[in-house]
Amino acid sequence: MQNVRTGSLTAFAASDPAKIDTTSQALPLSTVKLLVAASFLDHQQSGEVHLPDSARLLADSIAYGNDDAGRQMALILRKAIGTKGVLQDLKRYGFWSSHSLDSKTTDKDWQDILSIGEERFAVTARQLSQFLQAVGNNGVMLEGSKPRGRVLAERAAKKLQTVMRGAVERGTARSAAPILAHTGWQMGGKTGTGPDVHGAPGPTSDGCFAGLIFDPRGDARFTVATFVKHGGLGGGNAAWLSAELAKFVIGDDSGL
């Protein structure tokens, strides 16, 4: 967890802290859709991306985890601003060396990599958290406590926050909502699930959750990035652990 306003690390936990830290790499799985959504919203704001049904596509992709919707967004974005434009956005978000995407990547591979996130892309909890910090800070990324600069238009960042909250309110992470129900705080984000040893999502899948914790005023205050190896669906243990960690951090102190 990271403080959205200051950029400081708020909490970190691992099954084996001596071997796993915030810089350990993992597949992003479907949380990669957040990067596409950010770029999509930013360029829609500037008028470069035109899609009448974008609200439904965003909700399907982020809140409900629809891979086909994610694939559509990834390809629409590529066609609208070009491969170079998308890669520049990924670099600005902090993922300059995380992937092997380039102009030779086929449309099919492009769609799968930027929707499912199970190959040719690796992220760290720190990278995801710093990107989420910028989203929660209305588009301004911090490097430690110092502003690194605006990486996302304010309106696009706020729209993405709203879409992310839908995942917990009614989408793939809704089972975690009751954990914060009586605190006044809320969580939003994106779940991710990898195939289990049998090749399909199940109880031994890798799961992840990447999101934001919102205070009772609706302001994003903390990031949360959780990876659970062989821990089941992202909307299960990964989302539950994220909410439980948030509950522990906020405690009863409304002055945070």
> Phi/psi at 102 (nearest 5 deg)?
-160, -175
Contact criterion met (CB below 8 Å) for 41 and 151 = no
- Give the per-residue pLDDT at 156: 97
- Distance from C-alpha of 141 to C-alpha of 227, rounded to nearest angstrom: 22
CA 20, 22, 23, 25 torsion-angle sign: positive
Block mean pLDDT (10 aa), the chain, length 256: 94 90 94 98 92 93 97 97 98 94 98 96 96 98 83 97 98 96 96 82 89 98 95 93 95 52
C-alpha to C-alpha distance for 190 and 185, rounded to whole angstroms:
17
What pLDDT sits at residue 256?
46
Separation CA 55–CA 21 (nearest Å) = 36
Per-residue burial over 15-49, b if 16 or more Cβ lie within 10 Å, else e, is eeeeebebeeebbbbbbbbbbbbbbbbbbbbeeeb
- The answer to whether domain 2-10+26-250 has CATH 3.40.710.10 is yes
CB 62 within 8 A of CB 166: yes
Q: What is the pLDDT of residue 50?
A: 86
Tokens of 222: 């903390």
Please say whether the beta carbons of 187 and 224 come within 8 A. yes
CA distance 29 to 84: 22
**Which two tokens mark 132?**
């989420």
In this prediction, residue 145 carries a pLDDT of 66
The reported pLDDT for the residue numbered 133 is 98
